[in-house]
Amino acid sequence: MGEEIELVLDKYRTAGRILAEVREEAKARIEEGVLLLDVAEFVENSIREKGGEPAFPCNISRDEEAAHATPAIDDNAVFGTEIVKLDIGVHVDGYIGDSAVTVDLSGKNDELVKASEAGLNAAIKIIRDGVSTVEIGEAIENAIREHGYKPIVNLTGHGLTRYDAHAAPAIPNVKHKTGVVLRENDVVAIEPFATDGVGKVAEHGNAEIYSLIKAKPVRIKEAKKLLEEIKKYQELPFAKRWLPRERLDLAFRTLEGTRGILRAYPILKEEGDGLVSQAEHTLIVKKDGCEVTTKLP
């Protein structure tokens, strides 16, 4: 039993190490005038070159976008003087690392960037076997407010299980009355978001990210073929631009139009149009602390 756990934890560690390397390399490429698509493809290709697989599409969310933005096929958007969130997922045999950083190309939002980092560090400091998500949420909220910003209340950290990038429990970024106790060898992602807006996000516009809910029978040949392609991502999120282009519109519309096959992830935007920063690491809960898997050694 103990050996089996170590084998699994080692896969989480490998995913985390790949992620940390790719994240640092990608961070350096985020500059004014660079194509978002180039950075996203660099991230996803580098993950594969290093022996992992993307656990979800590279998220590049800017300014009031908090999450779920990823470039479309042939997207020609370039970075401006924005506050950029780079959120990356890597899996090795289904075992996931999830980590995000904020790059401030505006040069004016240092404290906002520090606020979410402080929230993450405050959480990491107290996580150990027996800690409650209530304590974690409180630590994150206090750290963000000390920097003069608000935590985003409807975005949370989460558990990670095999092929599930958003498993229970939800780990709030604010203090709640009730929560869940974390136990030794639980794997969780902590991801505080800070904002100068109202502290809430809502879905906005079209989605470029989807996941498979259930492979139901479809009649159209192209849709059937596309569904077979999508099955290889299991239930992990994928980008529309990852799919084969041949008759994609017809096939995709058929799948999207059949209830219960695909889940869409529209962009999440700050409801008060506030700027948003994010910091995230994946960690393994230990008896007396925690082991961050997505940090460079």
Task: Please say if 228 is a catalytic residue.
Answer: no
**Residue 39 phi, psi dihedral angles, 5° rounding:** -70, -45
Instruction: Exactly one of 44, 82, 280, 281 is catalytic; name it.
Output: 280
- Pair 68, 267: CB distance under 8 Å: yes
- Site membership for Co ion, residue 56 (CB under 5 A): no
Q: Which of 68, 91, 166, 281 is catalytic?
A: 166
Confirm or reject binding of residue 189 to Co ion (CB under 5 A). Answer: yes
Taking the least distance from each CB to Co ion, the nearer of 98 and 222 is: 98
Given 68, 91, 158, 281, the catalytic residue: 158
| 222 catalytic residue (yes or no) | no
The tokens of 30 are what?
């985020």
166 flagged as catalytic = yes
Read off the tokens for 56: 């979800």
Decide: is 118 part of the binding site for Co ion (CB under 5 A).
no
- Residue 119 or 223: which CB sits closer to Co ion? 119
Tell me the closest approach of the beta carbon of residue 46 to Co ion, in angstroms.
Answer: 19
Which positions from 58 to 97 touch Co ion by CB under 5 A, shown as an x/- string?
----------------------------------------
Cβ neighbours, 10 Å, residue 19: 32
Judged by beta carbon, residue 63 or residue 191, the one nearer Co ion is: 191
Number of residues this chain uses to bind Co ion (CB under 5 A): 3
Is 135 in the active site?
no
Catalytic residue among 53, 63, 64, 87: 87
Which residue, 194 or 261, has its beta carbon nearer to Co ion? 194
Closer residue to Co ion, CB minimum distance, 15 or 218: 15
Structure-token pair, residue 157: 């950290």
Q: Does 204 qualify as catalytic in the annotation?
A: no
Among this protein's residues, is 158 annotated catalytic? yes
Distance between the two ends of the chain, CA-based, in angstroms? 27
Q: For residue 217, say if its preceding peptide bond is cis, omega within 30 degrees of 0.
A: no
Q: Give the integer Cα–Cα distance in Å for 166 and 188.
A: 9
The answer to the question of residue 122 lying near Co ion (CB under 5 A) is no
98 binds Co ion (CB under 5 A): yes
Give residues in contact with Co ion (CB under 5 A).
98, 189, 191
Q: Would you name the residues annotated as active-site residues?
A: 87, 98, 158, 166, 191, 280
